[in-house]
């Protein structure tokens, strides 16, 4: 099974800060990598697919990058509504695996 290691597990940042979340795969997943945002009590929402493609309707401050085994989700200017937990998902091979999540809080 492919292990997905996300870092950090939690972070606190100020409005306007640049935030970077990393996801490392135990083996290559090509670019079959997606990022999801989940707010408390809500359904996960896809932000990025195919490692770097922005989901329609998602603000452009969210950017995905990377390939192979290392991927990054960047929020260029953190907004109050971005307070949430973020998950990566590899869907290159079964079983699919999620990262453990990164909780982003606003200072």
Partner 1 sequence: QVQLVQSGAEVKKPGASVKVSCKASGYSFTNYLIHWVRQAPGQGLEWMGVINPSGGSTWYPQRFQGRVTMTRDTSTSTVYMELTSLRSEDTATYYCAREVEAPTANDALDIWGLGTMVTVPS
Rounded to an integer, what distance in angstroms lies between the CA atom of residue 12 and that of residue 83?
A: 9
Binding residue for partner 1 (CB under 8 A) from 2, 20, 22, 31? 31
The DSSP H or E segment spanning 73 is strand 70-75
Question: Of 20-28, 42-50, 61-69, 72-80, which segment contacts partner 1 by CB under 8 A?
Answer: 42-50
Residue 83 interacts with partner 1 (CB under 8 A): yes or no: no
Binding residue for partner 1 (CB under 8 A) from 43, 60, 80, 107? 43
Closest CA to 8 of 78, 100, 106: 100
* Ramachandran region, residue 80 (left: φ > 0; alpha: ψ -120 to 50; beta: rest): alpha
Residue 95 interacts with partner 1 (CB under 8 A): yes or no: yes
Summarize as ranges the residues that interact with partner 1 (CB under 8 A).
1, 31-32, 34, 36, 38, 43-46, 49-50, 55, 87, 89, 91, 94-101
């Amino acid at each position: 099974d492919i292990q997905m290691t996300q870092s950090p597990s939690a972070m606190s940042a100020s409005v306007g800060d640049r935030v970077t979340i990393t996801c490392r795969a135990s083996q290559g997943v090509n670019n079959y990598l997606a990022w999801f945002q989940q707010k408390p009590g809500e359904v996960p929402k896809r932000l990025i697919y195919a490692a770097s493609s922005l989901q329609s309707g998602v603000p452009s401050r969210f950017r995905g990058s990377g390939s192979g085994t290392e991927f990054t989700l960047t929020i260029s200017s953190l907004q109050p509504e971005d307070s949430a937990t973020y998950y990566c998902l590899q869907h290159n091979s079964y079983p699919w695996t999620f990262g453990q999540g990164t909780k982003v809080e606003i200072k």
